[in-house]
Amino acid sequence: MRISPTPSKSKLCALLVECAPQEPTGYAINLLKAAALSNPSVASDWQIDCLTLRVKDFSEVDDERLRSRKHLSVVSEIVARNPSLVGFSVFVWNVSITTALTRMLKLARPEIRVIWGGKLVENDWRRLAESCSEIDCFCIGDGEAVFPAILESNSGSDNQVPGTVIRRNGSLIELLPTGSRQSAADCATKSLLDGID
C-alpha cells in the first residue's frame, strides 16, 4: 500500500523591511522573525522573510527620477515575493524612504497590509498616519509580542491586536496594550522594593 504524502500547506508570506544608514544589521526585524516563528501556529501558517536596505543607496542618487527608479526596483522585489503583509522598521533615518516605498507598494498592490513599527512610530504615529494614509497599522512600542499576534490574527483586515493602531474606514483605532509599559515599570519597582521596610 502506498501512503500518499500529506500535501504541504502553502504558507502566507510576511516580509519585514529595515533600511539602515550604514551596513544594516537587520537586528530588530530578525528578532521579530524569531519571536513570531517561536509561536507554533504562526510558524505553521507563515513564512517570514527579511529584507535589509541601505539609506545611502537611495541618498547617493541625486537625480529625482533615478531615485524613484530605485524605489520602484525595491517595490518590484517586494511584490515578487508575493507577501500578504509587509512590516517596515521605521526610524528617523529611513522615514522618507519608507514613506515612498509604502506609497508605491500600495499603488501596485493595495491588498497588501502595511504595518509600521520602530522607534519613530512609538512617539510619532499620529503625525505619520496623517502624512501617509497608505499605512494600515502601527505597532506602538516593542514588537516581540505584538508582531506574532498580528500574524496569528491573520492578515485579515479586522486585526484587533492590543499595542497597535489600525486604520479602518479612514479612522484610526487605538488598541491599548494589555499590560502597559507603566504597569510593567511599576511591577519592576514594586519587586525591587519588596522586602524593604
What is the binding site for ligand B12 (CB under 6 A)? 16, 20-22, 25, 27-28, 31-32, 87, 89, 91-93, 115, 117-120, 139, 142-144, 146-147
CB of 82 to ligand B12, least distance (A): 18
Whose Cβ is closer to ligand B12: residue 27's or residue 107's? 27
CB of 195 to ligand B12, least distance (A): 29
CB of 8 to ligand B12, least distance (A): 27
- Give the count of alpha carbons within 13 A of 180, CB side only: 5
Whose Cβ is closer to ligand B12: residue 31's or residue 172's? 31
Give the closest residue to 145 by CA, choosing from 173, 177, 114.
177
* Residues in Cβ contact with 92 at an 8 Å cutoff, skipping those fewer than 6 apart: 119, 120
CB of 13 to ligand B12, least distance (A): 14
Q: Do the Cβ atoms of 50 and 16 come closer than 8 Å? A: yes
Whose Cβ is closer to ligand B12: residue 46's or residue 147's? 147
Whose Cβ is closer to ligand B12: residue 97's or residue 146's? 146
- In total, the chain counts a number of residues equal to 197
* Residues in Cβ contact with 57 at an 8 Å cutoff, skipping those fewer than 6 apart: 70
CB of 85 to ligand B12, least distance (A): 9
Residue nearest to ligand B12 (CB): 117
Whose Cβ is closer to ligand B12: residue 104's or residue 163's? 163
The SS3 of residue 88 is strand
**Chain center to CA of 56:** 22
